[in-house]
Amino acid sequence: MRRFSISILVIALALASTGPTLAQDSVRLTGSGATFPFPIYSTWFKSFSGKSKSVTVDYQGKGSGAGIQDFLNRTVDFAASDAAMTDEDMAKIPGGVQLLPMTAGEIVIGYNLPGSPKGLKLPRDVYAGIFLGKITKWSDAKLKAANPGMTLPDQDITVVRRADSSGTTFVFTTHLSAISEEWKKSHGAGTTVNWPKSDKIVAAPKNDGVTATIKQTPGSIGYIEYAFAKFAKVEMAELQNKAGQFVAPGGDGGPAALASVQLPANLRAWISDPEGAKSYPVATYTWMLFYKENKDPKKAAALRQLVEFCLTEGQKMSHQMGYIPLPENVVSVVRKSASSIQ
């Protein structure tokens, strides 16, 4: 896998080095990183490259960790990460790093039940209990109490999780740690965690793998990105938020969750358990990482153009593609911060 992506990188670099000879003033930007925003980033970059004739952007969705590695090795012009970047890593870049949240997404709990009933309601202790392996039957009393009128089968719950390490798992387990002391103590948060050992917890690679496994397994439940659930038509549960309300994903819940969190100066904020009656409980920003000091002023200018495009044109595409548009106040903060890319 890694060797494959390295060979792609080599080809990309080879192409990049031949670029300037073709047209003197054209700029080619390369980036790599998170796969979760890959669909929207590739759409953005394609339309940006189409609009501005002199700048082309290549982005490879290798995973957040690999993106940060490339960024540290200075083999890319920018990177993208669902887990932002740690202070420790940021200190390794002379001149400094500018983190910019570019879009946001929701993580949903998808399920597969006979007759595909819509709008399963999951209270906080129940979905924490399911992923802890404590609640193992669909006919559990707590599930029945939360969903009167829904016929729940006397069937085992099969939990589907991510097999690879991923930003999705990081965000979801951060949320579980915020709502359940027991989860925090025994499993914690991370891009991969030590899952409870059970025959009813299976793992599949990538968002698409988990989605396919949920679709193929009656009685299963699992966490995936909203966009994947939406396009694969997986039923999504309504989750109970901090205020006690049940909120379905894909509506106003995402923007409300973003609005509930104040961005700090470094623009790195985790929405582990948002306040507010309307907030959908599992949402996250995803970031692009830029060097504050670029060697080539032309590249820096192109990067600023790119950010501006994503903030204006880009945000209009977000909702339709299954992502959350950034709130107005966040857009203006990001725009201001982008000027530090020099």
Partner 1 sequence: MKAFELDQSARAGSVSGPPTSWDDVADRTFRGLARASVWLILLLLAFILWSIGGKAWVGMREYGVGFLTSTTWDVGKQQFGVLPQIWGTFYSSLLALVIGGFFGVVMAIFLTQDFLPPRLAQVFRTTVELLAAIPSVVYGLWGLFVVVPAMRPVANWLSEHLGWIPFFGTTLSGPGLAPAALVLAIMVLPTVAAVSQDALRLVPYKVKEAAYGMGATRWEAILKVMLPAAATGIFGALVLGFGRALGETMALAMLIGNSNQISLSIFSPANTLAALLALNFPEAGPREVQVLMYAALVLLAITLVVNLIGESIMAISARRAGVRR
Of residues 98, 103, 158, 318, which one binds partner 1 by CB under 8 A?
158
Residue 266 in the binding site for partner 1 (CB under 8 A): no
Q: Which helix (H) or strand (E) holds 333?
A: helix 328-338
CB atoms < 10 A from the CB of 18, how many?
10
- CB 300 to partner 1: min, Å: 29
Backbone angles phi, psi at 249, to 5 degrees: -75, 160
Residue 209 in the binding site for partner 1 (CB under 8 A): yes
Query: Helices 64-72 and 2-22: crossing angle, nearest 10°?
Result: 50
Backbone angles phi, psi at 27, to 5 degrees: -120, 135
Residue 160 in the binding site for partner 1 (CB under 8 A): yes
Please answer whether residues 299 and 291 qualify as being in contact, where contact means their C-beta atoms are separated by less than 8 angstroms. no
Please answer whether residues 212 and 23 qualify as being in contact, where contact means their C-beta atoms are separated by less than 8 angstroms. no
Residue 205 in the binding site for partner 1 (CB under 8 A): yes
Of residues 50, 73, 197, 316, which one binds partner 1 by CB under 8 A?
197
Residue 233 in the binding site for partner 1 (CB under 8 A): no
Query: Helices 38-51 and 297-309: crossing angle, nearest 10°?
Result: 110
Residue 90 in the binding site for partner 1 (CB under 8 A): no
As a whole number of angstroms, the distance between CA 136 and CA 157 comes to 5
Residue 153 in the binding site for partner 1 (CB under 8 A): no
- CB 25 to partner 1: min, Å: 35
Please answer whether residues 83 and 272 qualify as being in contact, where contact means their C-beta atoms are separated by less than 8 angstroms. no
Residue 202 in the binding site for partner 1 (CB under 8 A): yes
Of residues 36, 78, 183, 195, which one binds partner 1 by CB under 8 A?
195
**Identity of the residue, 66 or 227, whose beta carbon is nearer to partner 1 in the bound complex:** 66
- CB 222 to partner 1: min, Å: 10
DSSP state, 320? G
The binding site for partner 1 (CB under 8 A) comprises 1-2, 5, 62-66, 156, 158, 160, 163-166, 188-195, 197-205, 209, 212-213, 216-217, 219-220
